[in-house]
Amino acid sequence: MGKLSGKKLILLGERDGVAGPAMEESLKNCGAEVAFSVTECFV
Amino acid sequence: MDLQNQQRVKDAADKFGPENIVVILGSSDAEGAEIYAETVTNGDPTFAGPLAGAPLGLAVYHILEPEIKEEADQAVWEDQIGMMEMVLDGEALAEAVKGIREQYSKYTL
């Protein structure tokens, strides 16, 4: 069982870095549940 | 960090228990990553948002840290994150978040 299994993830993505949906997709099968996922952007 | 997102972090910690939460950052620069990491561990350093004076001590990692990458689906990782991994300074980002984690996180993986 993975380290993230059973955890609740908060994914704080960034538009110029790694966006929330990309992290969500990559970690979809790690056994954790996404509490929420956002992508902030800075101008 | 956006004030609305600070509130969402606070609400999630209340709902699920801070020990069950792992915050994963996708920040592009080390300085920004440090501010985010500090906000979810020691509280909002600008004292402007709901996390001001709220040291939640959450486990916090950057998406490019090995602990997180090894948990991901590697094929999807390459597809979704591979390019940004080449562009961003993963080592500096990992060091920045690790530094804050070691200082303020009450929980780790």
User: Within a 10 A sphere around the Cβ of B87, how many other Cβ atoms?
Assistant: 10
Q: Which domain holds residue B69?
A: 3-104
| Averaged confidence pLDDT in chain B | 97
| The pLDDT value given to residue B101 | 98
- In-domain check, residue B42: yes
Phi/psi of residue A11, each to 5°?
A: -105, 110
| Owner of token pair 């955890």 | A7
Instruction: Write out chain B residues lying below 8 Å of A18, CB-based.
Output: 26, 28, 63-64, 81, 84, 88
Q: Which domain holds residue A12?
A: 8-40
- Number of domains making up chain B: 1
- In-domain check, residue A12: yes
DSSP state of B106: S
Nearest-by-CA chain A residue for B58: A10
- The pTM of this model reads 0.97
Which parts of chain B register pLDDT below 70?
A: none
pLDDT bin (cut points 50, 70, 90) of residue A41 is confident
ipTM score of complex = 0.96
Separation CA A7–CA A20 (nearest Å): 17
